Each structure stands twice: as C-alpha cells, then as structure tokens.
Amino acid sequence: MSAAKRLRATIGVIAAAALLASPVAPAFAQQDQGISLVRDTEIEEILHTEADPIFRAAGLEVAKVQIHLIGDKELNAETGAGLNLFLNTGLILEAKTPNQLIGVIAHETGHMAGGHVARSGDMGRAALGPMLIGLGLGVLAAAAGAPDAAAGLVYSSTYFAAISALGFSRVQESAADQAAVTYLEKAGVSGQGLVDFFNNFRYQEVFDDEKKFPFFRDHPLTDDRIEALTVRVNQQPHAGAVDTPQAIAAFAIMQAKLRGFLDLPQQTLIDYPDTDMSFPARYARAIAYYKQTETDKAVSAIDTLIADQPRNPYLWELKGQVLFEAGRPKDAVDAHRRSVELKPDAPLLRINLGQSLLAVNDPKLTDEAVSNIDRALSLDPEDPLGWRLLSEAYDSKGEDGMARLAAAEQNFHLGQMRDAAVFALRARKLLTKGTPQWRRATDIVLSSKPTADDLKELAREG
C-alpha cells in the first residue's frame, strides 16, 4: 500500500501534519527522530477543564495557554517558550489522582508565570528539536497494532521549533512550588496532590541522572523542598479539599483512553478485563478491539457506550475512526457528522468529517467536505493536514488556483518555505488579481524567504 493510500486510511492524524514518503514505523521506535505530539480533543478538553482555573489564578490569559500532549511513556512535564505547556502521556498515567496531575500542572504554571524559561546560561539545554513529530491517537494505535492503517511519520509546524527544554535551579523549583500552592488555593484546589506526587517519587533523589525520570532531571527534588512545600500546603484553607466525582471520572476516562491507544491490545485487555464493566474499562476495550482490527467487535462495543451516552461526541468520533480505517468511509461519514453536530466548534472533529467525505469519492459531497475543512481551519489555521485536505478537495473540483493556494498554506505552516513560495507563485497565476486569495498568495511568497527571481516574478505580475 502506498504512503498516500495509507494516509487516506487514517483519520487520527490531526494538527501539524504532512505526509512523508517513508513507510510507517512504530511511534515509540522513533524517539531519536523527534517528539511525538498526540492530538485528541477529548483529552485536551479534560486537561483544560482542570488546568484553566490554575492558569487564571496565575494571571495568565487562559485562551492563549496551549497544552501539548507528548506521546512518551517517560514521566515528564515541561514549560516551553511562551504560554506552552508540554505534558508527557507518562505523567498522566503515573499520576494516581486528578489532584496529583493538577498539582504538577500548577508547578509548571509557576515556571511559566515566573518567566523561568526565558533565562539563559549554564542551565539551558539544547532545544527539544527543530520540529516535533505530530501523531494523532489513531495513528499511534495503527502504528502499534496495524501498520497498514497508519499514514507514516509526520512533522509539525515550525510553530513548535523554538521550544526549549530547560533544567531549573533549586531556587526556581522552590519558587514554582510556592507559586503552585498560591494558584491552587486561589482556585479552591488542595495542594496535597503535589506533595503526594513528590513523596511518591522521593526515591528519585538517589539515582544518577541517567536513571532518573526526565522530570526529576530537569526539576531537582530535595527533602528540604518537599518539607517546605508540605508546611505551606497544610497552612492553606483548602488543604483538605478532595477531587470531585466529575474530576475522578474524567481522569479515569483519560487514562483508559491513553492506555487503550498507546499500549498493546493484549496489555489493555489485561488491565481492563471483561469483568470490569465500568465506562472507562469498556472504552479501553473498545479501542483494543479496534487496534486488533476486530472492526465489528469494536463497533459493537462502541455502540453499547453510545447507548449509555448518546450525546458524547467522542464516542461518535471513535466509531467514525474505526469505520474509516476499516475501509468503510460512507459509514464513517454518518458517525463523524453526528460528532460534529454534538461538538460543532471542535476543529479536529470537522477535519475527520471532511476527510471521510473526500474518501467517499462522491462529487456531491465535496462541497460539504470543503465547508467543514474551512470551518476547522478558521478555528485552527495552523493545521497543515487541513490545508492538504483542502488542496485535494479544490483539486477534485477543478479549482486549480485554490488548490495551489491551499498547498502553499500547508507548506508554509510546516516551515517548508521554498515549497510554500513555489505553490504560492503558481496560485497567483491562477487566481483573479486583487482578490483576497491572490493577496494571501502574495503574502506567503513575501513571507517565505523569496529568492531574487521570486521577487522579479512578483514585480512583473504587479
């Protein structure tokens, strides 16, 4: 199966993606090539529900804080340049309670609000990499259990290129701890989770750096620091606050979904045996069946979940993904339409629907695909996969100028400036002069390190 066909068979690659010609390889076998960026609307929503009150308490502009989920089983969390927070899936899976996870997020918020990432000097480490490898959960599942269903490794936008992973000093660590307690208390949340988290990993102090979790290499942990944190937490009015039932349920779903996608199906079925009839366990097993390419069994399991929660958009999204990757795009369309109806402002869900509509290969559905992809890009304009799909859609409609402009946008957001300029120059020749689209193509050329010949061509065309 060609790489292009594999991409058509994959619904899970969402933001920051561009197809490579190389065949797919398991995501976690590619750690040396970059960082895997996992996109999942449900998990991102859960994380923001818990973290936004902390960001607000820290005086940050909540809408601008971005949480990035890294597909790595190592326990780690890092703050990048700007308002960017990076959480390893390993951290979410190692945390015992929602309060522990939110405690670590509050600690990282302390670094973010304190401007610790902006420092330079001996503590600075090299950037995490010029680019991240962006993988949707569906691709991680396919890579782990069904390589033919996966699209291949994909690179993210250079938006993430400036992220620096920095080791913090003990003074800054203590400052972040104290700031975390302040933010948690202001949000009405106990700081006990952060204390418990550190106590759980107190043994990390005795390891050398090579054996420590990355989080504790970059965030030095000491007995004095834990003691100071404990004393401060115990002084707070909300020290005894406990996780709400809603937070506990959402946390269990998040962990089950991650285990379902990131672990081998056999392991998932051991961790969530048939005797466990809880919603998270059934969710995880449905994903395991999907990864084992047992499509009918997976769909049946998902349908029982939908019967319990018919207005859950993420169950419909999963059903659409399973059907799409089983080569049933018509059936997938119905499921993805329902997910969009239930969550109309989620760009990733609209991308899923647009991709499925195009895969049906029915010209009558192309305009609906374009409409959904356009809407997704209005919400998340930096999604190269959306631009690539839009280019395909316009190409199928015979609108060559718009197809080239979308291809220029795709390459521009991938940081492939030479290709962006080439496609934008082609688009200018095909688009009506003076239109917004023509002007956008011109802007892309001027913003893509144009050569002298490029500038001469712009001058000739006006």
Query: How is residue 155 annotated by DSSP?
Result: B
**CA distances in angstroms from 159 to 397, 418, 445, 447, listed in the order given:** 31, 17, 18, 14
What's the Cα-to-Cα distance from 370 to each of 145, 354, 374, 394, rounded to whole Å? 32, 7, 6, 8
Render pLDDT for 402-459 as a digit per residue (tens, 0 to 9): 999 999 999 998 889 999 999 999 999 999 999 999 999 999 999 998 999 989 888 8
Pairing mode of beta strands 84-88, 77-80? antiparallel
Domain boundaries, the chain: 3-234, 263-343
pLDDT (0 to 100) of residue 80: 76
For 398: left if phi > 0, alpha if psi spans -120 to 50, otherwise beta; the answer is left
What share of the chain has pLDDT > 90, as a percent? 63
Which position has the token pair 């496609």? 423
381-398 burial, b if ≥16 CB within 10 A, otherwise e? ebbbbbbbbbbbbbeeee
At how many degrees (to 10) do helices 400-413 and 384-396 cross? 170
> What are the percentages of helix, strand and coil residues in the chain, rounded to 5?
65, 5, 30
Which pTM was predicted?
0.82
| Mean pLDDT, residues 329-351 taken together | 97
What is the pLDDT at residue 73? 86
Residue type, 46: I
Crossing angle between the packed helical segments 245-262 and 41-57, to the nearest 10 degrees: 130
In this structure, the chain runs to a length of 462
Cα→Cα distances 254→2, 156, 246, Å: 33, 24, 12
Assign 327 to helix, strand or coil: coil
- Mean pLDDT value across the chain: 82
Is it the case that residue 163 has pLDDT exceeding 60?
no
Q: Residue 11 is encoded by which pair of tokens?
A: 């619904």
Tokens coding 108:
């990282």
Whether the pLDDT of residue 332 is over 80: the answer is yes
User: Is the pLDDT confidence value at 174 over 90?
Assistant: no
Closest CA to 16 of 46, 39, 41, 42: 39
pLDDT tens digits for range 297-308: 999 999 999 999
Q: What is the pLDDT of residue 27?
A: 27
Please say whether the beta carbons of 70 and 36 come within 8 A: yes
Instruction: Give the residue among 224, 230, 287, 211 at the shortest CA–CA distance from 253.
Output: 287
- Least confident among 38-42, 50-54, 236-240: 38-42
- Please give the CATH number for the structural domain made up of 263-343: 1.25.40.10
CB 77 within 8 A of CB 108: yes
